[in-house]
Chains A and B, each alone.
Chain A
Amino acid sequence: MSSEQILIIGGGPAGLEAARGVADLGYKVVLVEARERLGGTPISSNYAALTHGMRDASEVMGEMAAAVTGNPNVEVRIGARVTSRSGEAGRFSVTVESGGRPEAIEAGAIIVATGFDHFDPGRATQQYGYYQYDDVLTLQDVEAMLKIKKFVKPSNGAAPERVCFIQCVGSRDRHIGNEYCSKVCCGIASKQAIEIRQMLPNCKVFIFYIDMRMYGYWENEIYWPAQEKYKVNYIKGVISDITMKGDKLMIRGEDTTMNRPMEVPMDMVILSVGMEPSKGTKEVIQVLGIAKNKYGFVETPHDSLETVSTSVPGIFVAGAAAGPKDLDDTMGMAGAAAMKAVGFVRKLNRAVA
C-alpha cells in the first residue's frame, strides 16, 4: 500500500505551486525548505518585478506561500534538509534534518524543486572584474536595487549616465562548460533596461548580445517596447573585458553590425549571468540517487515528452532544478509534477486494492 503523502523538496515557485496542486487534488504534502523562509530565489535574491508579468516578486511569492502555509493538507518544514533516502516508489523513506534533529518521513512520491544558483561571474572566461570594480553588477544585484527603487553607482552613489548589459555571462560557453542557453537573461535584461530607463530618463542604456532571445510574447511585450518606447540600444557584439579608465569602466567589444572593434566608457555594467544547478539541487541529486545531466541539473528524458520525470520512478522534478526555466515553464512543470505524483500514487494503490 503506497503512502498517500507527497514529499516536495524546495519552497520556491515550483515547490509552492506543486504543493498547492497536490493539496487541491486532496493529497497530503510535506514541503521541505532549507532556507529560513519560503519564496525561493525570487525572495532570497531580492527580485523586484517578475518577468514577464511585471508583478512585484514579494507580492506574488507572498500569495503563493499563503496558499500553502494556511493549507490543512500541507505541512511546511522550514530550515530543513533531506539527508537520506531509502525505499522505493510508493514507499520512499526519507530522513529530513532540521536543527540537527533527524526525522523519518514516508512518501509515496517525491517532487524535486530545488532550483538554480546564479552563475558566479568571477568564473567568466572573459575578464569582467566583478570582484574588482564596485560598478560591475549582476542581474540579481540590479533586482535588489530596483526593489528599493534606488538605481545608483555603488562606488559613489551618483546616478549613472551610461549603463550597459552584457549577455550570456556563464552560458553558451565551451571554456566554462555551460554550453546551454539560460533562457531568461535576454528577457530579464530587457525588462531591467526598461525599468532603468523609466527611473532615469536621461540615462543611456545598451545591451551587448550574441543573439537576442525573447520567445513568444516576450518579443512584443518586452523587446519591441524596450527598443521603440524606451530607446534601449541593442548592439550585436559581446564584450571581451572590462578595465577602468579614470572613473569610467571601459568595455571592449566588436560592433559586428558596423564591422569594427569598439571601446566604450560606461558608468555601470550589468552582467547577465546564467543559471547553474543550485547547491541544493546538487545535494538532493546525490541524496535521492537520481540521474543528473552533464551540466549537473536533474536529468529528464528528452526523447519522450515526459518533462517532469527523473531516472527514478516516483521521483519527479519541477522548475530550474531540471535546467534553465522561465516562470511559465516552472509553473507548468509544477502543475504537471503535482498531477503525475498524485496519479502515480493512486495507480499504485488501485493496483493493490
Chain B
Amino acid sequence: MIPIEIRKAESDKPRARFERRPEDAPEDLREKAFELEAKGEWIVQRVPGPHAEVKTKYGKIKKIPLQHTWHHKSCGQCGHIPGYSTSIFWLHRRLGFDYNDPRDQTSCTAWNYYASATSNAAAQAAVAMRNFAAAYETGYFPIIHCATSYGHYKEVRSELVHHKELRDQVRDVLARMGRPFVIPEEIVHYSEWVHAVRHEIAKRKVLDLSGITVTVHPACHYYKLVQEDAIYDADVYGGARTAIVTGVVEALGARVADYSTWFDCCGFGFRHILVQRDFTRSFAVQRKIEVMREEANPDVTLTHDTGCVTTLDKSQFAGQAHQGVKPAIPVMSEAQFCALAMGAHPYRVCQLHWHAAEYRPLLEKMGIDWKERWREFEDDLERLKKEPGKVMTWDDVDAAPRPAPEHLAHGGR
C-alpha cells in the first residue's frame, strides 16, 4: 500500500498566498506601442524621472510619473466637484512635485460619447491624441483626473494599436492641425499616483484617523476596461481586487470596511444621470448606499472617479425623501480625504460646500473644526464679493512652507 498523508484537518486548505505571474498577462499594449514607434508610426512619450513603480494585475511593472505632470482635468470634477481637482493639485504642491494645469486641454468627451454616441471612434481617438500632443509639446507627462477618461483612453490606445486605418486617419487629422502624433508610454490615472506616494502622504498626516471607517467604491472604468492595466498589490486584498484607494486609506490608518456589493457599478449611466435619473438614484441608493450603511456603517465612502462621486453624493437626497430620513453617508474622492488628513482647509481646498450628502459629522469625527473653517471661508467670500473679478489664489490657501529639498532628492519617496 502507498503510505498516504491524510490532510490534518478538514479545514486544512492550502492557504498559500496567491502569487501573480507576469507570463499570464495578455499582450502588452505598451510593448506594441514601442514596436509601432520603431516603425515610425508615432512617438511614444517616455515617463520622466524620477518615477515610481507599481504592479498591475499580473504583477507587471507600471511606471508612475511623480512630477513634471500635465494634468488632464475632468469636466465633471472641475464643474461640480471642484474640491476634487483642487485637492489633487494641492497634494502635488504639498509633496513638492511640479505640475502643469493646462488651458490647452479639452474634455476627453467620453461622458457624451457613452451617453449619446453622437461621435465615433475616429473623433474620440483624435480628441485623445490631440490632448496627448498638447501635453507632449509642453514637455510634461499627462496624468488623468477622471477614471472614465482614463478607461476611455486605454480603449483608444487599444483601438489605435490594432487598427492601422484608424491610426492613419487620426494621424492625418492631427497633422492638419500641426500637431505631432504622440502616445504616452503609460496611461496614468491620478489615483495611481496617489497609490504610489501613499506613504509620503501618510507621513504628512496631522489627524488621527484610527476611528474612521471607510467604504471604498472602485470605478468600473478604472479596472474593468483593459483589465490587465490596473494596480493590484499583494498587500491589499491579497492582490485579488484592485488596490487603489484602499491602499492609501490603510496607509493613513483609517479602517476599510467591506460590503457585499463592492464590485457593483455605482449606477452613473452617463446618459441616465442627466436625463433618466430614476435609474441612477435607485441603483446607487439600493445597491450601494443602503448596503454600505447596513453592512459596514461607514463614516465616509471614498472613490476615485468623477462619475462615482457625483452619483453617490447626489443620489442620496431623493433616496431620503423616499424612505424617510436616514443619515447620509458623506462621499468624496480619496484625494480630498488625503488632503484633509494632511490638514487641508475643508472649504478653500476640499470645497466641501459643493457636496450634497451631509459631511459635517464626519469632519467633527476627524477632529476638524468645520465651524471655524466655514467662518474663515465666509470671510474669504466677503473679501471676494467686495472686489469683482478678484479670485482666490494658492497663496491664500498655502500657509504652510514648501517641503524641504531632501524630499525631492528621493523623488518624494
Chain A residues within 8 Å of B, Cβ to Cβ: 37-39, 43, 46, 58, 61-62, 65-66, 120, 122-123, 125, 127, 129-132, 134, 137, 141, 144-145, 147-148, 150-152, 154-155, 157, 175-177, 240-241, 243-246, 250, 252
The 8 A-B pairs at the shortest CB distance, nearest first, are namely: A122-B18, A154-B11, A245-B260, A243-B260, A144-B7, A150-B10, A62-B1, A131-B18
Q: Is B390 an interface residue, CB under 8 A from the partner?
A: no
Query: Do A244 and B258 touch (CB < 8 A)?
Result: yes
Query: Do A244 and B260 touch (CB < 8 A)?
Result: yes
Could you list 21 A-B pairs, sorted by A, with CB under 8 Å?
A: A37-B2, A38-B2, A46-B4, A46-B6, A58-B1, A62-B2, A65-B2, A120-B18, A122-B20, A123-B18, A129-B240, A131-B15, A131-B17, A131-B238, A137-B13, A141-B14, A151-B10, A154-B13, A155-B11, A176-B24, A177-B24
- Known pairs A240-B263, A241-B263; A152 contacts B10 (CB<8 A): yes
Query: Do B11 and A147 touch (CB < 8 A)?
Result: no
Chain B residues within 8 Å of A, Cβ to Cβ: 1-4, 6-7, 10-15, 17-20, 24, 26, 227, 237-241, 258-263, 295
List the A side residues contacting B295 at CB < 8 Å.
Answer: 245-246
- Known pairs A39-B2, A250-B260; A148 contacts B227 (CB<8 A): no
Which chain A residue lies CB-closest to B14? A141
Query: Do A58 and B4 touch (CB < 8 A)?
Result: yes
In-complex Cβ contact of A175 among B13, B26, B241, B261 (8 A): B26
Query: Do B261 and A148 touch (CB < 8 A)?
Result: no
A123 to B15 CA separation, bound complex (whole angstroms): 15
List the B side residues contacting A122 at CB < 8 Å.
Answer: 18-20, 238-240
List the A side residues contacting B11 at CB < 8 Å.
Answer: 134, 154-155, 157
List the B side residues contacting A151 at CB < 8 Å.
Answer: 10
A62 to B1 CA separation, bound complex (whole angstroms): 5
Which chain A residue lies CB-closest to B3? A37
* Additional A-B contact list (18), CB under 8 Å, known A39-B4, A125-B227, A131-B15: A39-B2, A46-B7, A58-B4, A62-B2, A65-B1, A130-B18, A131-B17, A131-B240, A144-B12, A148-B7, A152-B10, A155-B11, A240-B263, A243-B258, A243-B259, A245-B295, A246-B295, A252-B263
Expressed in whole angstroms, the minimum distance between the Cβ of B229 and any Cβ of chain A is 13
A132 to B14 CA separation, bound complex (whole angstroms): 12
A245 to B260 CA separation, bound complex (whole angstroms): 5
List the A side residues contacting B18 at CB < 8 Å.
Answer: 120, 122-123, 130-131
- Known pairs A144-B12, A175-B26; A61 contacts B260 (CB<8 A): no
Expressed in whole angstroms, the minimum distance between the Cβ of A67 and any Cβ of chain B is 12
A38 to B26 CA separation, bound complex (whole angstroms): 37
List the B side residues contacting A39 at CB < 8 Å.
Answer: 2, 4
A58 to B15 CA separation, bound complex (whole angstroms): 24
Which chain A residue lies CB-closest to B12? A144
A134 to B17 CA separation, bound complex (whole angstroms): 13
List the B side residues contacting A175 at CB < 8 Å.
Answer: 26, 227
A157 to B9 CA separation, bound complex (whole angstroms): 10
A175 to B15 CA separation, bound complex (whole angstroms): 25
List the B side residues contacting A244 at CB < 8 Å.
Answer: 258, 260
Expressed in whole angstroms, the minimum distance between the Cβ of B210 and any Cβ of chain A is 24
Identify which of B7, B26, B237 gathers the most chain A CB atoms within 10 Å of its CB: B7
- Known pairs A175-B227, A243-B260, A243-B262; A134 contacts B13 (CB<8 A): yes
A127 to B264 CA separation, bound complex (whole angstroms): 12
Expressed in whole angstroms, the minimum distance between the Cβ of A166 and any Cβ of chain B is 15
Which chain B residue lies CB-closest to A143? B7
Query: Do A147 and B260 touch (CB < 8 A)?
Result: no
A145 to B7 CA separation, bound complex (whole angstroms): 8
A252 to B264 CA separation, bound complex (whole angstroms): 10
Identify which of B239, B241, B260, B262 gathers the most chain A CB atoms within 10 Å of its CB: B260
Which chain B residue lies CB-closest to A156? B11
A37 to B5 CA separation, bound complex (whole angstroms): 10
List the A side residues contacting B6 at CB < 8 Å.
Answer: 46, 147-148
Identify which of A130, A131, A145, A154 gathers the most chain B CB atoms within 10 Å of its CB: A131
Query: Do A127 and B2 touch (CB < 8 A)?
Result: no
Expressed in whole angstroms, the minimum distance between the Cβ of B20 and any Cβ of chain A is 8
List the A side residues contacting B262 at CB < 8 Å.
Answer: 243
Expressed in whole angstroms, the minimum distance between the Cβ of A125 and any Cβ of chain B is 7
List the B side residues contacting A43 at CB < 8 Å.
Answer: 2, 4
Expressed in whole angstroms, the minimum distance between the Cβ of B60 and any Cβ of chain A is 14
A62 to B24 CA separation, bound complex (whole angstroms): 37
- Known pairs A37-B3, A46-B7, A175-B26; A132 contacts B263 (CB<8 A): no
Which chain B residue lies CB-closest to A248? B260
List the B side residues contacting A148 at CB < 8 Å.
Answer: 6-7, 10
List the B side residues contacting A66 at CB < 8 Å.
Answer: 1
A4 to B125 CA separation, bound complex (whole angstroms): 67
Query: Do A127 and B240 touch (CB < 8 A)?
Result: yes
List the B side residues contacting A125 at CB < 8 Å.
Answer: 227
Which chain A residue lies CB-closest to B259? A243
List the B side residues contacting A58 at CB < 8 Å.
Answer: 1-2, 4
Identify which of B4, B19, B239, B241 gathers the most chain A CB atoms within 10 Å of its CB: B4
A289 to B25 CA separation, bound complex (whole angstroms): 25
Expressed in whole angstroms, the minimum distance between the Cβ of B219 and any Cβ of chain A is 16
A245 to B294 CA separation, bound complex (whole angstroms): 10
List the A side residues contacting B263 at CB < 8 Å.
Answer: 127, 240-241, 243, 252
List the A side residues contacting B13 at CB < 8 Å.
Answer: 134, 137, 141, 154
Expressed in whole angstroms, the minimum distance between the Cβ of B380 and any Cβ of chain A is 44
- Known pairs A39-B2, A61-B2, A177-B24; A132 contacts B261 (CB<8 A): no
Which chain A residue lies CB-closest to B238? A131
Expressed in whole angstroms, the minimum distance between the Cβ of A66 and any Cβ of chain B is 8
Identify which of A120, A129, A176 gathers the most chain B CB atoms within 10 Å of its CB: A120
Query: Do A132 and B237 touch (CB < 8 A)?
Result: yes
List the B side residues contacting A240 at CB < 8 Å.
Answer: 263
List the B side residues contacting A243 at CB < 8 Å.
Answer: 258-263
List the A side residues contacting B26 at CB < 8 Å.
Answer: 175, 177
A245 to B296 CA separation, bound complex (whole angstroms): 10
A58 to B261 CA separation, bound complex (whole angstroms): 43
List the A side residues contacting B227 at CB < 8 Å.
Answer: 125, 175
List the A side residues contacting B19 at CB < 8 Å.
Answer: 122
